Amino acid sequence: MTFTASTARPDAPIGIFDSGVGGLSVLRHIRAQLPQEDLMYFADSAYAPYGDKTEQQVIDRSLAITAFLLQQGAKALVVACNTATIAAIKALRARYPDLPIVGVEPGLKPAASISRNGKIAVLATERALRGDKLLALREQVSAATGATFILQPCIGLADRIEQCELGNDPLDATSAMLDRYIAPMLEQGVDTLVLGCTHYPFVQEAIARTVRAHTPQAITLVDTGDAVARQLSRLLDAASLRRINNDAPRLQGYTTAKVDALAKAFAGLLDLQPPVEHLSV
């Protein structure tokens, strides 16, 4: 499937994908900033998590999903997954040079500007923290600002969020996991936590509770979903692709795993009940 700027239509939908349900945190920001747009959300849950896949596997999945979304008429693409952005966005832009594409990356730059003491923890998946793109960004921002970034892999956290286990009970397994990952960061004096995976904003309340249990200091949490939505708005405006239709916007879900699981995530995380379809892509 090819994409050409000349055939793109403003009333076409925006395609959003993630390895699972984490990208719904980005979709939430997009719906808030672009409430008139039709959206398609693709959860590649049968292949989740991407963090334990090779870079080539993530590239292959990203290309296959993008081809499907373009077949459905997508006018723009949001890679709502840190791991997929790091591994595959270069390949996606090479394959589809005319397609407006927005990726997500951990908010190291905004964190450096916010931090009072320059000590910042980056919570992310193992693969995201190993990626050359993130390591290069860390070096660049550190050199420019003097900030120190402590990288903390949160093994298993995205999987729990996939199951809508959001740490609502201070004694549950998700809360214990957050305590294990965050407490050592606070002991090192960080004053800013970067949520470096799109799943993590859904446990933001549990993270804040964990922080309060360990320090009276004010700790800032950085979620880049808002910045992704703003960049998408800019790209749509630059390409004259913003939807101006007054009809009610549509939202369609797709998943490579169980329909019920994505429907539960839409309801439990966003209080939405869109149609969801199973696909083998």
User: What is the per-residue pLDDT across 226-248, written as a single tens digit (0 to 9) for each?
Assistant: 899 999 999 999 999 999 877 89
Mean pLDDT of the chain: 94
Nearest one of 239, 196, 240 to 96, comparing CA atoms: 239
Q: Can you say whether residue 243 is alpha, beta or left, with left for phi > 0 and alpha for psi between -120 and 50 degrees?
A: beta
Given its phi and psi angles, is residue 118 left (phi above 0), alpha (psi -120 to 50 degrees) or beta? left
Burial of 233 (0-12, 13-18, 19+ CB in 10 A): middle
In this predicted structure, the answer to whether residue 106 has a pLDDT above a threshold of 90 is: no
Catalytic residue of the set 81, 84, 104, 178: 81
Residue recorded with tokens 């696909």: 279
**Distance between CA atoms of 262 and 25, rounded to whole angstroms?**
13
Residue 62 host element (H or E): helix 55-71
Q: What is the mean pLDDT of residues 102-114?
A: 93
Please state, in angstroms and rounded to a whole number, the distance separating the CA atoms of residues 12 and 2: 15
Q: What is the pLDDT of residue 162?
A: 86
Compute the distance between CA of residue 102 and CA of residue 154 in angstroms, rounded to an integer: 24
Question: Across 19-64, where does the E strand assignment appear?
Answer: 39-43
pTM: 0.90
Q: How confident is the model at residue 1 (pLDDT cuts 50, 70, 90)?
A: low
The alpha carbon of 104 is separated from its chain's Cα centroid by a whole number of angstroms, namely: 6
Q: Which helix (H) or strand (E) holds 183?
A: helix 173-187
Q: At what angle do helices 225-238 and 24-33 cross, to 10 degrees?
A: 50
* 190-208 pLDDT, tens digit each: 999 999 999 999 999 999 9
* Banded model confidence at residue 51, pLDDT cuts 50, 70, 90: confident
Does the annotation count 154 as an active-site position? no
Tell me, what's the pLDDT at 59?
97
Q: In 117-126, which positions are buried (b, 16+ CB within 10 angstroms) versus exposed (e)?
A: ebbbbbbbbe
119-124 vs 148-153, strand pairing mode: parallel
Kindly indicate the confidence band of residue 96, based on its pLDDT and cuts at 50, 70 and 90.
very high
Average pLDDT estimate for 91-112: 94
Confidence (pLDDT) at 247: 86
pLDDT at 6 over 80: no
Q: Where are the beta strands (DSSP E) in the chain?
A: 14-18, 39-43, 76-79, 101-103, 119-124, 148-153, 192-195, 220-222, 251-255, 276-278
Phi, psi of 126 (to 5 degrees): -55, -45
> Catalytic one among 197, 207, 241, 251?
197
